[in-house]
């Protein structure tokens, strides 16, 4: 389920959905992609196995905000039930309680999780490399971050920053993991160059839906994926 792709699509995040789709198709897993748009029926969200929530510019984000607010309880119950969510940048910030902008104004979030984001000083921009807390191999995750907000929380982080800024440029952590939710600032887009994260999400979704044993999960030839992954490490670590 790609949430509001007409609006919440920034910095190539479309690549994440392309990646998940292809990696299912290559394994012979049937996949249906739904775009949840401003005029979509709430019911279709109930059957989602994976939800992608991207970010957008302030103006565009405000367009979808009121729609998302109507879905708050539903999304919350889906998350508690273990649905897989990838929330990036503005989408990640929306999961929290609030965003405090540079003039001190508070913009409410969905408040599905307890954390806040504050706008502080200059934007944090550049290549980023982290060591993830997830049980995957390799441990590194590479991407590109570009955000003005600083996020502070006590949840499990998505990873430890090896290079770049992460959540706030101070505490050395990036993103958030809660149940099967990954919140992160990593664009790039995230999944194509980090196939282990893409597969982690797919496995979790399949386990939840079909109680799949992970040994049944076919391995793909990811030579090219890891060449791109390693190039970022080589150039920017």
Partner 1 sequence: MENIRLYIAILLGMIVKLMLKLFGKDATSAPGKIALKIYPGIMKEINKRSKLKILISGTNGKTTTNNIINWLIGNDKIVLSNLKGSNMANGIVSSFINNFRSSYDIACFEVDEGSLPVVTRYLKPDIFVTTNVFRDQLDRYGELDRVKELILSHIGQALAIINADDPNLVSFSVENKVFYSVDENLLSRKTNVTLDSRFCPLCNTKLEYLFYNVGHLGKYQCLVCGYKNPESRFVITNIREDLEGFVFDFVDRETGIHIENIRWKMGGVYNLYNVCAAISVAVLIGVEEKRIKERIETFENKLGRLEKKEVGGKKVIISLVKNPIGMSETLSVISQDPDPKAIVFILNDNAADGKDISWIWDADFDILCRIENIKALYFGGKRKEDMALRVKYSEYVLANFEFIDYKEELDKVFEQKDIEKVYILPTYTALFEVKKVVDDLSKRMG
Closer to partner 1 by Cβ: residue 88 or 162:
88
Identify residues 193-222 at the interface with partner 1 (CB under 8 A): 193
Q: Pick from 92, 99, 115, 144: which binds partner 1 (CB under 8 A)?
A: 144
Report CA dihedral (65, 172, 186, 191) to the nearest 10 degrees: -130
Closer to partner 1 by Cβ: residue 58 or 81:
58
Contact region for partner 1 (CB under 8 A) — 68-76, 101-109, 159-167, 181-189? Answer: 181-189
**What mask, x for binding partner 1 by CB under 8 A, covers residues 105 to 134?**
------------------x-xxx-------
Rounded CA gap, 189 and 146, in Å? 12
Minimum separation from the CB atom of position 20 to partner 1 (A): 10
Identified catalytic residue from 89, 147, 153, 229: 89
Would you count residue 237 as binding partner 1 (CB under 8 A)? no
Rounded CA gap, 93 and 152, in Å? 10
List helix spans (H) across the chain: 14-25, 58-70, 72-80, 90-94, 195-210, 223-236
Contacts of 113 (CB under 8 A, 6+ apart): 95, 96, 97, 153, 155, 176, 178, 181, 183
Structure token pair of residue 73:
């309880």
Would you count residue 27 as binding partner 1 (CB under 8 A)? no
Contacts of 39 (CB under 8 A, 6+ apart): none
Contacts of 88 (CB under 8 A, 6+ apart): 13, 16, 52, 53, 54, 55, 183, 184, 185, 186, 187, 190
Closer to partner 1 by Cβ: residue 101 or 171:
101
Our answer to whether residue 89 is catalytic in this structure is yes
Minimum separation from the CB atom of position 12 to partner 1 (A): 3
Identify residues 49-78 at the interface with partner 1 (CB under 8 A): 56-60, 63
Cis amide bond preceding 138, omega within 30: yes
> Does 123 carry a binding-site annotation?
yes
As annotated, the binding site for substrate includes 123
Q: Which residues bind partner 1 (CB under 8 A)?
A: 6-7, 9-15, 18-19, 22, 38, 56-60, 63, 123, 125-127, 144, 146, 187-189, 192-193, 224-225, 227-228, 231, 235
Specify binding-site residues: 123
């Amino acid at each position: 389920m790609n949430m509001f792709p007409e609006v919440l699509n920034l910095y190539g995040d479309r690549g994440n959905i392309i990646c998940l789709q292809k990696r299912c198709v290559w394994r012979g897993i049937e996949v249906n992609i739904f775009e949840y748009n401003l005029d979509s029926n709430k019911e279709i969200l109930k059957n989602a196995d994976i939800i992608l929530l991207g970010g957008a510019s302030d103006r565009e984000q405000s367009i979808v905000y009121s729609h998302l607010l109507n879905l708050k309880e539903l999304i919350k119950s889906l998350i508690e039930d273990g649905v897989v969510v990838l929330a990036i940048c503005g989408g990640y910030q929306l999961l929290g309680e609030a965003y405090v902008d540079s003039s001190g104004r508070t913009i409410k979030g969905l408040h599905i999780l307890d954390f806040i984001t504050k706008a502080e000083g200059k934007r944090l921009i550049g290549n980023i490399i982290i060591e993830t807390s997830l049980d995957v191999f390799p441990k590194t995750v590479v991407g590109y971050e570009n955000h003005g907000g600083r996020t502070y929380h006590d949840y499990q982080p998505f990873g430890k920053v090896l290079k770049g800024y992460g959540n706030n440029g101070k505490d050395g952590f990036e993103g958030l993991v809660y149940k099967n939710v990954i919140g992160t600032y990593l664009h790039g887009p995230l999944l194509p160059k980090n196939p282990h994260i893409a597969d982690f999400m797919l496995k979790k979704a399949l386990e939840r839906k079909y109680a799949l044993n992970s040994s049944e999960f076919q391995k793909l030839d990811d030579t090219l994926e890891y060449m791109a992954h390693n190039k970022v490490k080589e150039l920017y670590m």
